[in-house]
Amino acid sequence: MTTVLLTGGAGFIGSHMVEHLVVNTDWNIVVLDRLSYAGSLDRLAQYRAHPRVRFHFHDIRAALPSQLLKRLGEIYFIIHAAAETHVDNSLADPLPFIETNVLGTYNVLQAARQLSVSRFVHISTDEVFGPAPRGVYYAEEDSLSPSNPYSASKAGSDCLAMAWATGYGLPVVLTRTMNNFGERQHPEKFVPLVMRAVLWGETVRIHASSEGAIGSRKWLHARNHADAVLHLLVRGALGKYHIGGDEHSNLSIAQAIADIMEKPLACELVDACLNRPGHDLRYSLDDSKLRATWTPPVPFADSLRRCVQWTMAHKEWLEG
């Protein structure tokens, strides 16, 4: 029986990967998580007693001890999704990001060597490239230019993963994704943040340039992300892949959310550079390498509608 170790499996993206793997494979899934503020076993409630899902508490800022490695048993794949991910928090206190994203990745890479895994998937972010001018789409081998401690720590973890691939022969697949959304997302993120504001009649702040150009991202449902990772695990070659999505401005996303909720949107444009130094107005990835063999199973509009409708029926996930 194939067993996959998933770090950060109680986080938002990690929990969608657990769900996707349970539904679409017969693998055993071992979740490793330290249950920080962004991790919750509530996300895995329906799988806590599942015969193919096991949970182990561990903080990857510490090396995985030999006793834990023995309890994990034979691990075939590792998906390393555990990370600190909030830009504002990284600007306020960068050390936890260095400890988790850099030192933590080192510890998981070393464990992967000891476990002799067949594939190590390192989940990273578009933000390692810094801002993308209009019309620019970063390819897998473009130069990294992070703008804040979070993206710098992820760039460092990318370099570690590829160094372990080259220096130790670790079979690494490095993926970079863009703005993920979906059910059970932490309320600090944009989609639930907009939903809260629309519900409570508050004004949504939309980042723009001083000239009025509105920020944009590519948007990807976390289950589509999980489907891409599963595809790369079983069909992809080793190396780097970008998992993109559909590009939309932050304003159009906010308006679409309000429309699905059938409520008015109150918004104001704010200067991103003044309001949030270290944030980038636009990110974008060239995901043509992956799209040559993979297509997102659920279209963007359907994904957003399902996410908003589900969250409206489970408003507890909007509570801060």
The per-residue pLDDT for range 200-220, each reduced to its tens digit, is: 999 999 888 777 778 889 999
Q: Does residue 125 sit in the same domain as residue 193? A: no
The pLDDT value recorded for residue 278 is: 54
Average pLDDT, the chain: 93
Domain assignment present for 291? no
Neighbour-count burial for 158-192, b at 16+ CB within 10 Å, e otherwise: bebbbebbeeeebbbbbbbbbbbbbbbbbeebbbb
Say whether pLDDT at 53 is over 90: yes
Q: What is the pTM of this model?
A: 0.94
Domain assignment present for 288? no
Domain assignment present for 205? yes
- CATH code of the domain containing 275: 3.90.25.10
The pLDDT value recorded for residue 233 is: 96
Domain boundary among 227, 246, 265: 246
Q: Does residue 196 sit in the same domain as residue 74? A: no
Domain coverage including residue 120: 3-180+219-246
- Position 256 confidence tier, pLDDT thresholds 50, 70, 90: very high
Vertex 147: Cα angle to 191 and 272 (nearest 5): 50
Say whether pLDDT at 275 is over 60: no
Q: Does residue 261 sit in the same domain as residue 169? A: no
Domain assignment present for 285? no
Nearest to 108 by CA among 148, 68, 141, 71: 68
Active site residue 316: no
Catalytic residue among 138, 150, 241, 283: 150
Domain assignment present for 287? no
**For 88-108, what is the mean pLDDT?**
96
- Position 319 confidence tier, pLDDT thresholds 50, 70, 90: confident
Q: Does residue 99 sit in the same domain as residue 75? A: yes
Say whether pLDDT at 259 is over 60: yes
Cβ atoms 46, 115 nearer than 8 A: no
Q: Does residue 71 sit in the same domain as residue 204? A: no
Q: Does residue 73 sit in the same domain as residue 85? A: yes
Catalytic residue among 19, 33, 127, 247: 127
Catalytic residue among 19, 33, 84, 126: 126
Q: Does residue 70 sit in the same domain as residue 106? A: yes
| Structural domain count, the chain | 2
Q: Which of 22-26, 88-92, 279-283 has the highest mean pLDDT?
A: 22-26
Choice between 93 and 42, residue whose per-residue pLDDT is larger: 93
Active site residue 126: yes
